Structure 1
Amino acid sequence: MERFSGDYYVYPGATDRALRRYRAFLQPPGRRPLYPQDAECSCRGCSFDDVRHARDVLGDVLRQLPPRPRAQLEGQVRALDVRYVERTLPDPFAADRQWRSDLWWRRRIADRREAG
């Protein structure tokens, strides 16, 4: 699917990279909040500095996959989504600040760096 996608950000290996990035963001132990960071650049490589972009890519991939692989990936993403909601804080002003505030994972408070 990645090979034939017309999406600039969905290319061979992008799903794996997005999953690894999402997991890595949620990896730090503890209960302190985590804050997604903005990417310095929007190129294919740097854009993954923003975990929200990784989640965007996963959402795009899920929409393009056939039913069986979609269900398998959905299970992994859903588990990460639960942790993301637990470890990030809601942003009541996301509609004014966020480029894609229609996406729930972009309606979380972000910072310039990922630290708790």
Structure 2
Amino acid sequence: MKKVIGQTVRDLKREVNKKVLKVPGIEQKVLDATSNEPWGPHGSLLADIAMATRNYHEYQMIMAVIWKRINDTGKNWRHVYKGLTVLEYLVAHGSERVIDEIREHSHQISVAPVS
């Protein structure tokens, strides 16, 4: 029962993000891919994010969310782990800009908080 209620609350939050806060679709996808859920991001979600890195505006949104997630701490350790997982996928399947940005942020990755 608790899981059902939790899922409903999560879905409601996503709808609020979309409609009220007007979180762009690609940003919501990155938030979903790096969520605190106990499962990893789906392949189709990762593929959508990788394709979006080819669009400059969407690329900026994607990377901003990823760097924010990688800097999370404490109970949000999954944000860090999944942020790194998404980065790994983007290196192989995303825009070449991803690699350049990772080089620029290599210090941020090497000191990513680990709980």
Normalising by the smaller structure, the TM-score range is: 0.3 to 0.5
Q: TM-score under structure 1 normalisation?
A: 0.39
Whose helix proportion is higher, 1 or 2? Answer: 2
Q: TM-score under structure 2 normalisation?
A: 0.39
Could you say which structure has the greater relative contact order, defined with CA pairs below 8 angstroms and 6 or more residues apart?
1
